[in-house]
Amino acid sequence: MRRFKLAAVMAILMLLFGASIGNAGYYQGNFTYDTDVVWFSFQQFSPPMSASTSSYSSGTGFDPILALWSSSGQLLAFDDDSGPGFDSYIDGTGVMDGYISLSRYWNFPRGIIGDYYSGYNYDILTPTALTSLTYWNLTIDGVTYEGQVSNPFTTPEPASLLLVVLGLVGVAVARRSRK
């Protein structure tokens, strides 16, 4: 029994601290449409968080746009060309957790810094399939956890809201019938 408890404690510690202190994450993929935005979540470790792209690749790729978001959805910063060539770089010093988004040139975050809900330039366009210059890569340094996520700030679609409401009505009816 004692061995089992020790093994359980060690497994929990490894899950919490073991694999997560990698301090850097490297991601790559391909955009399918000109409207695509790729999202990553992170929690800062040490040294300060930074994110950089190498998608431009000395003129053989496309011009990437990085944006830094707080965990509550506020746009903190965005960058177009601070990296080498037309690549992007963001210094996230002081941001303990949040999101990084990656998009293509001209698909900038709209609105003012501090406002997610204005979306992106291409949100109003019909997506156009890309036939070339689709490869992206991103490095996130100085974090304990990072991972690709779907858009964390999307508004629930009406069908999902309807299901939630119907579920709550069902709970209320079941509770009332028990009384």
User: What per-residue confidence (pLDDT) applies to 117?
Assistant: 62
Tell whether 153 is covered by a domain.
yes
How many domains does one find in the chain? 1
Residue 45 sits in a domain of what CATH number? 2.60.120.380
Q: How far apart are CA 48 and CA 142, in angstroms?
A: 5
Mean pLDDT of the 61-66 span: 88
Which are the contacts of 24, defined by CB distance < 8 A and separation ≥ 6?
A: 139, 140, 141, 142, 143
For residue 15, is it within any domain?
no
More confident residue, 23 or 116: 116
Confidence of residue 125 (pLDDT cuts 50, 70, 90): confident
Sign of CA dihedral 152, 94, 27, 29: positive
Threshold 0.75, pTM exceeds: no
Please give the residue range of the domain that contains residue 159: 21-178
Which one has a higher pLDDT value, 39 or 17? 39
Q: Is residue 8 part of a domain?
A: no
Are the beta carbons of 20 and 145 closer than 8 angstroms? yes
Inform me whether the pLDDT recorded for 83 exceeds 80.
yes
DSSP state letter for 139: E
Any domain includes 11: no
Rounded distance between C-alpha atoms, residue 159 and residue 156, angstroms: 8
- Amino acid (one-letter) located at 42: F
Of 41-50, 98-107, 129-138, minimum mean pLDDT range: 41-50
